[in-house]
Structure 1
Amino acid sequence: MKSARLHAFTQNPADIRVEDIAVPEPGPGQVRVRMLFSPVNPSDLNFVHGTYHSALQRIIWNYTPGQKQAEVYYDPARRNKCPVPPYSLGGEGVGVVEACGSGFLARRLLGKRVAIAGGPPAGCWQEYCIADAKKAVAMTDDIPDQQAAMFFINPLTAYVLIREVLRVRKGQWVLLSAAGSALGKSVVRMGQRDGFKTICVVRSSTNSDELRALGADAVIETDKQDLLAEVFRITGGQGARHALDCIGGKLADDLVQCLGLDGQLVVYGTLSGTPMQIPGRDLMMPVARISGFFLSNWLAQQSPLKLLGTLRAVKQLTRQGVFHTEVTEVFPLEQVVDAVAAASKPGRTGKVLLRLSAG
């Protein structure tokens, strides 16, 4: 079968190779999925660049005096190792279960169309993928293939951030950067549905009209508007109770200044590649706080019952169109390098998908 593989961390997506490898066999509790579509997400590039691996080297449980660890783990119990190349790429996708290993969960998915959460070393950018049955969700007929391919990463992150991490209540303000992204638009739709208010921060006017049409309460274009002044005006000088940021750097610094009393900024990405530099008293005086969010580690800390309820809720909202994402380009697997380049264009809107098989 064909698989998009990486043999070493790189800054050059052209180093991704489509190779022929053996069709894998599912083990206990696993399913083999004939893949249909998989998106190109920013998180996929972190596995290309080695961003996760290098970040985990800085974490206390991976610390070794005087040296960097070759093996690093997502968790202090050292059960979930961060993979290193060579491996197959792709963090999520949709396909049809054609084989299963032992176990009730795996057998009940046989023949069904499922959304799966994958990721290296056995990623989704290949014709067949092995997935843990616990990370596969059967899709109903009213969820199209291309939307099902994007079921996990952005919808689940948006839902968990709003409902579980920030616990946003009706009438509260949520300030979000990169608001023109798929996740940003999902948060806007959730605000319309649940009654909280959104302030969308964008670099330019490219997505402003669409965000307003979706129900954004305010849009701030940082290329021509002052962020702090606008948030002051919009909130009547009170600031925002909640903020979400996936950019980092100077913008994250400014978002902290926009927080109100007891406000919270959640960092879930670092697209700018530059660190935050926040004066301590910007947090002390408003009793504000910053927290980080990494979906895989959040999921690993939840009970099976909690995970089941969360996935059911995300599936229901997906069926209602809350997490709908525009697809702007679809590439065959053989053109994976072109797909990554298209997805990496600054200011792009909509998702790039890989088509992984004909049926």
Structure 2
Amino acid sequence: MKAIEITRYGPPDVLHVVDRPAPVPGVGELLIRVAASGVNRPDVLQRTGNYPVPAGASDIPGLEVAGVVEGGDAQAMALAGFQIGDRVCALVAGGGYAQFCVAPVAQCLPIPQGLTEVQAASLPETFFTVWSNVFDRAGLQKGETLLVQGGASGIGVTAIQIAKALGATVLVTAGSDEKCAACLALGADHAINYNSSDFVAEVQRITAGAGVNVVLDMVAGDYVARELQCLAEDGRLVIIAVRGGVKAEINAGLVMRKRLTVSGSTLRVRSVVFKGAIAQALKQHVWPLFESARIKPVVHSVFAADGGLNSPSGAAQAHALMESGQHVGKIVLTW
């Protein structure tokens, strides 16, 4: 098979197309003929040497794929209701940038009716992450208010749509008026341009001083102290990335007085059982929202993965776009 390899740590052009043996599915796994692979910021971190590959995972980057079931553990497939030839998307711990990929059956989901493989490849990483953190960990409820930092990102457009569909009020921050407009078009109730406004003051103004119930944070660093000021009593802050730095100074007195909860998580290293439980929750609560058109995939750009053996690939263009921050939604590679 052809696959995208990180030839060395460095800029996007270190991503090359190479020949690799196709993976062999093990117990509890499917073999997927990949039609499309999602591109995510953790892939960029892996390429630059800042996101170590978990033990046992493929060194090939890529955390989500969509395609057709080619084979696998027959018993596990039968128990999960999958057959050879079924269209599926899957969350994987690595190996997604390739023509074939193995995935735990528990982390595979049927492609929602009416979606293409390109659209489906944009779903698993962000939908698993948002559900696990916003709904499982932070416990966002119908009628509560969510603040999403980076509303135009893949995570952001996912959080906006699920939270709105399930009855929450959604505030977002974004880096330009154009991105704010895109977030509003997806259903966000309020969008704050963090380059022209103080998001803390804006949150207080919009909520009449009450604050928000949940903050989904992909920045950390000095944002943490400011986000605590945005929270209502019994509010919950969930940190899922540290683009602004790993250290933060907080007002512990504020945390105590308002009974705040500060939490965080990463998904890649969690167990198959843990991820499988998220998959089942998505299948029950979120996948029907696609079929009723209450939510939709948001794909900004699609690149052909195969640029030729031992030459820079479409993945290099995809990573350059990811790092530019000029996209709204997801970036996808096709095979």
Q: Do both share a fold (TM > 0.5)?
A: yes
Deviations 1:168-224 (A, max 9, x none): 223222111101223222322234322221121122212222222333222221222
Match of 2:6 in 1: 6
**CA distance, structure 2, for counterparts of residue 220 and residue 337 of structure 1:** 31
**CA distance, structure 2, for counterparts of residue 138 and residue 287 of structure 1:** 40
Match of 1:200 in 2: 172
Deviations 1:310-330 (A, max 9, x none): 433332233334552332322
C-alpha contact (below 8 Å) 1:30/1:102 kept by paired residues? no
TM-score between both structures, scaled by the size of structure 1: 0.81
User: Is the aligned partner of 1:113 residue 2:92?
Assistant: no
**CA distance, structure 2, for counterparts of residue 101 and residue 242 of structure 1:** 40
Identify which range, 273-282 or 188-197, moves more after superposition: 273-282
User: What SS does the aligned partner of 1:103 have?
Assistant: helix
Match of 2:320 in 1: 341
Q: What is the RMSD of the two structures over their aligned residues, measured on CA atoms?
A: 2.6
Match of 1:65 in 2: none
Q: 1:43: how far off?
A: 2.0
Q: Which runs of 5+ in 1 are unaligned?
A: 54-71, 74-80
**CA distance, structure 2, for counterparts of residue 94 and residue 157 of structure 1:** 17
**CA distance, structure 2, for counterparts of residue 248 and residue 337 of structure 1:** 27
Q: 1:34: how far off?
A: 1.2
User: Is the aligned partner of 1:145 residue 2:111?
Assistant: no
C-alpha contact (below 8 Å) 1:2/1:18 kept by paired residues? yes
**CA distance, structure 2, for counterparts of residue 41 and residue 239 of structure 1:** 30
Match of 1:17 in 2: 16
User: Is the aligned partner of 1:189 residue 2:188?
Assistant: no
User: Is the aligned partner of 1:159 residue 2:158?
Assistant: no
User: What SS does the aligned partner of 2:210 have?
Assistant: coil
Per the alignment, do residues 239 and 101 of structure 1 end up closer, same or farther by CA in structure 2, a change over 3 Å counting?
closer
C-alpha contact (below 8 Å) 1:211/1:219 kept by paired residues? yes
User: Is the aligned partner of 1:235 residue 2:207?
Assistant: yes
User: Is the aligned partner of 1:39 residue 2:38?
Assistant: yes
User: What SS does the aligned partner of 2:139 have?
Assistant: coil
Give the alignment of 1:206-285 within 5 angstroms.
206-273=178-245, 275-285=247-257
User: What SS does the aligned partner of 1:163 have?
Assistant: helix
Identify which range, 180-189 or 306-315, moves more after superposition: 306-315
Per the alignment, do residues 89 and 325 of structure 1 end up closer, same or farther by CA in structure 2, a change over 3 Å counting?
same
C-alpha contact (below 8 Å) 2:33/2:101 kept by paired residues? yes
Per the alignment, do residues 18 and 168 of structure 1 end up closer, same or farther by CA in structure 2, a change over 3 Å counting?
same
**CA distance, structure 2, for counterparts of residue 296 and residue 323 of structure 1:** 25
Q: 1:90: how far off?
A: 0.8
**CA distance, structure 2, for counterparts of residue 181 and residue 347 of structure 1:** 10
Partner AA of 1:246 in structure 2: M
- Sequence identity percentage: 25
Identify which range, 232-241 or 276-285, moves more after superposition: 276-285
Partner AA of 1:4 in structure 2: I
**CA distance, structure 2, for counterparts of residue 316 and residue 298 of structure 1:** 26
**CA distance, structure 1, for counterparts of residue 280 and residue 60 of structure 2:** 28
**CA distance, structure 2, for counterparts of residue 298 and residue 311 of structure 1:** 19
Per the alignment, do residues 305 and 341 of structure 1 end up closer, same or farther by CA in structure 2, a change over 3 Å counting?
closer
Identify which range, 92-101 or 106-115, moves more after superposition: 106-115
TM-score between both structures, scaled by the size of structure 2: 0.87
Deviations 1:300-352 (A, max 9, x none): 56496675344333322333345523323221112221221122212422322
C-alpha contact (below 8 Å) 2:69/2:84 kept by paired residues? yes
Per the alignment, do residues 223 and 108 of structure 1 end up closer, same or farther by CA in structure 2, a change over 3 Å counting?
closer
Q: 1:39: how far off?
A: 1.5
C-alpha contact (below 8 Å) 1:186/1:322 kept by paired residues? no
Give the alignment of 1:113-132 within 5 angstroms.
113-120=87-94, 123-132=95-104
Partner AA of 1:167 in structure 2: G
